[in-house]
Amino acid sequence: MAEKEPVYDDNSIRSLDWREHMRLRPGMYIGKLGDGSSPDDGIYLLLKEVVDNCIDEFVMGHGKKVDISIKDRTVKIRDYGRGIPLGKVVDAVSKINTGAKYDSVAFKKSVGLNGVGTKAVNALSSYFKVESHREGQVKLAEFERGYVTLDNPPAPLEKRNGTAITFIPDEQIFGNYHYRHEYVEAMIWNYAYLNPGLALHYNGQEYKSENGLLDLLRNNVSGEVLYPIIHLRGYDIEIAFTHGQQYGEEYYSFVNGQHTTQGGTHQNALREGVVKTLREFYKKDFEASDIRTSIIAAISIKVQEPVFESQTKTKLGSVSMAPDGKVSLRNFVVDFIKENLDNYLHKNEETSTALLTKIIASERERKELSGIRKIARERAKRAAVHNRKLRDCRIHYNSNHDDRLETTLFITEGDSASGSITKARSVQTQAVFSLKGKPLNCFGLTKKIVYENEEFNLLQNALDIEDGLDDLRYNNIVIATDADVDGMHIRLLMLTFFLQFFPDLVKNGHLYILQTPLFRVRNKRETIYCYSDEERQNAIAKLGTNPEITRFKGLGEISPDEFKMFIGKDMRLEPVHLTRDTVIQSLLEYYMGKNTPERQLFIIDNLRVEKDLIEEDV
């Protein structure tokens, strides 16, 4: 019998208020949700939306300090600016399209111009409190999921002017989330670099910069650079760059203090400007890739009423420096670089010589690889026709679909494991790449091996990262291996591949390790999946006498129906994160180089042998 077609009439049309709409469609306002394991997860955007308002006050000349505290899931942020006008405090955080930033005179070069930011924080928080200290008075209001629960009238209180916000992201929206210190710290450092003289205090530690983007590169460069960092400053623009010894390109781009992680017009202009200037300076038509490979660069510009490609403001779409359209943003950046970089190189002969030597070396390597690359591409095309390695998804990260931030490629080994993941995955956003056995240890090898080795060549082709991250096809690259010694070895070999040849992919927060349960503990009433021995002990205690305990030795032992729970909404991912002090070459030397006594001791102290877990189950 055919299903009855649903009724479509007047009753089918609904009108949602702003709170309901934000909670029903949070992705429209904060991108993806996530649990805090990725730096672009929604809980960090909530934090950023509030801090952005503090930064705007500082930029306008009010307040040189911001206090930030995160304890458990409670976030507190206090600035020392002017304070929200007392009669508009509730409206400013709960009335959509309300704010001072529509007045371009007061906030000429602000990030948030649409009056949505703090309203989204309010609507998506189980608890939200705002306090405005102004002219010897305080106005306080509290909210629950966007609805007012307390609205006190202004009262006398002598404290420094400013605004204090406290909020707890809602578990109903974000699930079992947690803030990761390293992501919050990276965000706060960026605020410090972009606002010299501003002191940010996060959980008692001060973050402050006096040299802007020069400090940013000094603190983020991994290993030695080929020449001193070039630092150029002008009105509404600041640029810093150097070349390292790694493969790929690495960029940090900002607009009005907003970290545009996906680049945009200004970053493209930076890349173009450097190439044009160096071609003219050296009077040779070098390939752009030979100039840019191994570059580490940062750009910060200030634009009136910037246009971003999404509410999350990760990619700049503006083509002009101001709404009147009289000054091309691209021309502004390119002209600044051509004038100032050319002057710098004429005055610094050692730097110009080192830069030329680097470009010529890159040119030589590219030419040596050209024949191999052509053969490798043809091989990858033939493999794609037979679908031997990649089971693709329907949406890709470089598409315009709303789900692109959720796109994931699982890299796994063996037919059984890849079969389980393939059957359990979401075909819309999740793809699977199957390795055949252990990959090659590529430590110390040149990029030539990426084209000569079938596994590496096909993986590079699947990700579309041969010429950088511009065409990256998946936002999340997840290494999924068995929780045993062999699985750990494969994991290390894959980490070596990415760190050796595509470090920018790791530094931009795209690489993860999949956490799968080690045990299943169940009785007739309940099943508990455990990711550690401690969780197993707690599950046994909870379920009582003689529960059934299963030890998962490999991913292939987990049925597709069970796997759906581990790669769905509650998927546990461990991000591969490089700290400010990480030197990639030293890290790879330690783990993948010669078998030193220090590494042997590390393995003895840290490796939990498979048989130990098995014996505990007996």
Rounded CA separation 314/31 (Å):
10
What topology is assigned to 213-366 in CATH? Ribosomal Protein S5; domain 2 (3.30.230)
Tens of pLDDT, residues 226-246: 999 999 999 999 999 999 988
What topology is assigned to 18-207 in CATH? Heat Shock Protein 90 (3.30.565)
Whether domain 387-516+552-617 has CATH 3.40.50.670: the reply is: yes
Rounded to an integer, the average pLDDT of 14-43 is 83
312-321, 477-486, 512-521, 591-600: the lowest-pLDDT one: 591-600
CB 332 within 8 A of CB 340: no
User: Does the pLDDT at position 5 exceed 70?
Assistant: no
Tens of pLDDT, residues 110-152: 655 444 689 999 999 999 999 999 989 999 999 999 999 999 9
The average confidence (pLDDT) of the chain is 86
pLDDT at 498: 92
Cross-strand partners of 514: 573
User: Does the pLDDT at position 326 exceed 80?
Assistant: yes
Q: Which residue has the tokens 């929206």?
A: 173
Q: Which residues contact 56 (CB under 8 A, 6 or more apart)?
A: 101, 107, 110, 111, 112
CA-based nearest residue to 131, from 112, 111, 106, 151? 151
- Residue 451, SS3 per DSSP: helix
42-51, 52-61, 327-336, 596-605: the lowest-pLDDT one: 596-605
User: Does the pLDDT at position 385 exceed 70?
Assistant: no
The encoded tokens of residue 305 equal 């009423």
CB 483 within 8 A of CB 517: no
Same fold, 18-207 and 213-366: no
Of 217-221, 294-298, 447-451, highest mean pLDDT: 294-298
Burial state string for 229-262 with b = 16 or more CB within 10 A and e = fewer than 16:
bbbbeeeebbbbbbbbebbbbbbbbbbbbbbbbb
Rounded CA separation 589/598 (Å):
12
Domain spans, the chain: 18-207, 213-366, 387-516+552-617
CA 24 to chain centre: 24
Residue 306 binned pLDDT confidence (cut-offs 50, 70, 90): confident
What is the tally of helices (H) and strands (E) in the chain? 22, 23
- The DSSP result for 21-88, as a single string, is HHHHSTHHHHS----SSSTTSHHHHHHHHHHHHHHHHHHTT--SEEEEEEETTEEEEEE-SS---GGG
pLDDT at 1: 45
Tens of pLDDT, residues 140-197: 999 999 999 999 999 998 889 999 999 999 999 998 899 999 999 999 999 999 999 9
Rg over CA atoms, the chain = 26
